[in-house]
Amino acid sequence: MSSGDPKSAYEDRVYRSSGGIAGGVLLLAVAGWLGIDALVVGQGRTPWLALAALLCAVPLVIAFSLRPAVFANEDRLRVRNPFRVIVLPWATVASLRSGYSNEVVDESGTKYQLWSVPVSLRARNKANRRQAQAKGGRAGTQTDLSGRTSLLTGPVRAPSDQIMDDLRALWESRAGAADSQGEPSVRWSWEVMGPAIAGAVLLVILLVTG
């Protein structure tokens, strides 16, 4: 997927949560089935309540499951979170942190969570156990982000930790480049927030006036 920026040196590397996408698709299917059923066979105010609930819920489900993504190229890091889009030229990044969540910190000290790169403590513990087995001389395998399996030849990392390692390597190599300079920008995603707020207001009105 291309960043759409003519200054980008190459296409963006895109990082998304496959689990989040799968969960979002499932929730949308359930909401669509229940909502459409209420719109078609509901009586009285039921269709209006269903419409308001769908108008509020569907954007929120999309925002927290399908929408989050991290785009990285040689010039900058673009973080698309549920309600904001953050663009950080590499020169403005102060650190990329991994703990109970993955975060990027800009030069002013502002933290932004990477929603599309969730931390899995289970995967991290599993990777640590496999690494300990490898150090103990026991043969093992590891699976990379593309799904390919190979013998253990180096440190074993959980998928989200490996993504953060890749981002740190790109940041460290490009932070001083001329094309990586600039100012951070943060934009609110009103295309998501607007319909959700409208649906919530309509739902409250219908419930209060009922």
The reply to whether 173 falls in a domain is no
Domain count, the chain: 2
| pTM strictly above 0.85 | no
Residues 37 and 92 in one domain: yes
What percent of the chain has pLDDT above 70?
Answer: 80
Residues 17 and 72 in one domain: yes
pLDDT at 122: 75
Sign (positive or negative) of CA dihedral 1, 106, 170, 123: negative
Residues 24 and 48 in one domain: yes
HEC string of the chain equals CCCCCCCCCCCCEEECCHHHHHHHHHHHHHHHHHHHHHHHHCCCCHHHHHHHHHHHHHHHHHHHHHCCEEEECCCEEEEECCCEEEEEEHHHEEEEEECCCEEEEECCCCEEECCCCCCCHHHHHHHHHHHHHHHCCCCCEEECCCCCEEECCCCCCCHHHHHHHHHHHHHHHHCCCHHHCCCCEEEECHHHHHHHHHHHHHHHHHHHHC
Residues 73 and 136 in one domain: no
Residues 139 and 202 in one domain: no
Residues 59 and 136 in one domain: no
Residues 126 and 92 in one domain: no
pLDDT at 8: 44
The reply to whether 172 falls in a domain is no
Residues 107 and 196 in one domain: yes
pLDDT at 160: 87
Separation between Cα atoms, residue 67 and residue 196, nearest integer Å? 14
Residues 187 and 109 in one domain: yes
The domain of 135 spans 121-151
Which tens digit of pLDDT belongs to each residue from 58-106? 999 999 999 999 999 999 999 999 999 999 999 999 999 988 899 999 9
**In which band, very low, low, confident or very high, does the pLDDT at 181 lie, cut at 50, 70 and 90?**
very high
pLDDT at 7: 45
